[in-house]
Amino acid sequence: MPKHRGIFYVTQGEQGPGVWFFHGAGGYHGVWLSYLRGLRHQARGLALDLPGHGRSDAFPITTLADYAEVVLSFWKDLAVTETKRVPPEILVGHSLGGAIALLFGLRLQQEGRPPRAIVLVGSAFRFRVQSTTAPENQESLCRALFYRPSWRRRCIESRELPLFTDPVTLSRDLQLVQNFDFRPLAPQLRTQIVWIHGVHDQILPFSYVQDSARWAPSHKIYTIPQSGHMPHLEARDRVLSILKEVIDGYI
């Protein structure tokens, strides 16, 4: 499992478009490992730990744009090696990771390499994070993140779920994403936006997606029943099938 320029990442798959995965606030790459395995026959996947998360080194981060710039530098530096095999053609981001995917996608476009699609899982063009996500209250946080009782229990009772690096990092990320607003930049982005959103999302209600869609000329929206802010965990098979549809559309 390689680490380059302080950024830890894993790859899987030998053919098809390159798909880059971005985890959410305070998270790490582990949340996407089952997707790398599930897509390995039709895509080349790459999941990374954002700066200061998981096994990646800390970087001076004060805005979400800083995250995108570090990822851009990471991509440029690996352009002649690993990312030639796994180019960032389809970007998939959960929550905060979706915001970073949007900013990174716009920077790729400015570099002459626009992504084919950006998939936003439990994410939107703007954020107003609810107070129930306070990291010091794990039970309230788990109830806000998940809709299904079984997943809420697993979150509350287990500290081994691939969700968060640590509460401090989570708290910082929540502060950074609090006033994110991509809407003024959205007209510049020439790529399709695909939303995958839990019907019962308490962190980022569906109304945020509806508002964001008005700013996206080309988009598709998939709603996931019986799911909250973590549809990629609560409804993995359905989300995986949607990603396969997206990938098939670009092969």
Read off the DSSP letter of residue 251: -
Q: At residue 130, does pLDDT exceed 70?
A: no
What are the counts of helices (DSSP H) followed by strands (DSSP E) for the chain?
Answer: 10, 8
Q: How many CA atoms lie within 13 A of 9 on its CB side?
A: 23
pLDDT in the model for residue 179: 84
- Average of pLDDT values for 102-114? 97
pTM as predicted? 0.95
- Average of pLDDT values for 142-147? 93
Question: Are the beta carbons of 49 and 4 closer than 8 angstroms?
Answer: no
Radius of gyration of the chain (CA): 16
- Residue 196: Cβ within 10 Å count: 27
Strand ranges (DSSP E) for 87-236? 90-94, 117-121, 192-198, 219-224
pLDDT in the model for residue 206: 96
- Average of pLDDT values for 152-162? 76
pLDDT tens digits along 165-202 = 778 888 899 999 988 999 999 999 999 999 999 999 99
Q: At residue 83, does pLDDT exceed 80?
A: no
Among the listed residues 65, 93, 75, the one whose alpha carbon sits nearest the alpha carbon of residue 179: 65
Q: What percentage of residues in the chain have a pLDDT greater than 90? A: 76
- The DSSP-derived string for 14-63 is SSS-EEEEE--TT--GGGGHHHHHHTTTT-EEEEEPPTTSTTSPP---SS
- Distance in angstroms (rounded) separating the CA atoms of residues 204 and 100: 16
- Distance in angstroms (rounded) separating the CA atoms of residues 27 and 172: 12
pLDDT tens digits along 204-245 = 999 999 999 999 989 999 999 999 999 999 999 999 999 999
Residues 6+ apart with CB under 8 A from 153: none
Structural domain boundaries of the chain? 3-248
pLDDT in the model for residue 92: 98
pLDDT tens digits along 38-70 = 999 999 999 999 999 999 999 999 999 999 999
Q: How confident is the model at residue 156 (pLDDT cuts 50, 70, 90)?
A: confident
Residue of higher predicted confidence among 139 and 207: 207
237: burial class by Cβ within 10 Å (0-12, 13-18, 19+)? exposed
- Distance in angstroms (rounded) separating the CA atoms of residues 107 and 89: 13
- Distance in angstroms (rounded) separating the CA atoms of residues 132 and 140: 6
Choose which CATH entry (3.40.50.1820, 3.40.50.150, 3.40.640.10, 3.100.10.20) describes domain 3-248. 3.40.50.1820
Q: At residue 159, does pLDDT exceed 80?
A: no
pLDDT tens digits along 14-44 = 899 999 999 999 999 999 999 999 999 999 9
Q: How confident is the model at residue 158 (pLDDT cuts 50, 70, 90)?
A: confident
